[in-house]
Amino acid sequence: MSRVRIPPMLRGEVGGVREVPAEGDTVRELLFDLMARFPSLRPQLVEDDDIAPFVNVYVEGEDVRTLDGLDTSVDHGSTVILLPAMAGGL
């Protein structure tokens, strides 16, 4: 079980909470567990069976694209951060 931090623009898809627990030994398993429970997250997170280019996934502060992508292993109890690009400044 890991804790997945949900960014504010995606909270509507998970009932408004800031953090959601998810199961999985890899980023793939973890995201698919999340998307199975919250299907409207899918277009926000994956594209062509890979992590969408406009969202970053960090496991313990490291971008999984610089690790093994969807196959990056996730230790039990890790903090996972989902981070879509946000443009707001005004």
Partner 1 sequence: MNGVATFPKAMPGYRELLQQVKSEIDEVDVTQARELLDAPERPLVVDVREPDEWTEGRIPGAIHIPRGNLESRIEQAAPDRAQPIFLYCAAGNRSAFAAKSLEELGYENVVSLAGGYTDWKRSGLETELPRTLDGEKRQRYSRHVLIPEVGEEGQLKLLDSRVLLLGAGGLGSPSALYLAAAGVGRLGIVDDDRVDASNLQRQVLHSTGRLGEWKAESAKRTLEELNPDVEVVPYIERLTSENVERILADGWDVIVDGADNFPTRYLINDAAVWHDIPLVHGSIYRFEGQATVFKPGAGPCYRCLFPQPPPPELAPSCAEGGVLGVLPGIVGSLQASEALKLCLGIGEPLVGRLLLFDALATEFSEVNLRRDPNCPVCGDSPTITEYVDYVEFCSGRPAHA
Sites of contact with partner 1 (CB under 8 A): 7-9, 18, 43-44, 52-56, 58, 61-63, 65-66, 81, 83-90
- Tell me the closest approach of the beta carbon of residue 31 to partner 1, in angstroms: 16
Q: Smallest gap, in angstroms, from Cβ of residue 90 to partner 1?
A: 3
Q: Rounded to the nearest 5 degrees, what angle is found at the Cα of 29, between the Cα atoms of 65 and 1?
A: 105
Token pair for residue 49?
Answer: 């069976």
Report the chain's C-alpha Rg in angstroms: 12
- Tell me the closest approach of the beta carbon of residue 47 to partner 1, in angstroms: 9
| Shorter beta-carbon distance to partner 1: residue 76 or 87 | 87
Rounded to whole angstroms, the Cα distance separating 86 from 44 reads: 13
In the beta sheet, which residues pair with residue 80?
4, 59
Question: Which one, 29 or 63, has the nearer CB to partner 1?
Answer: 63
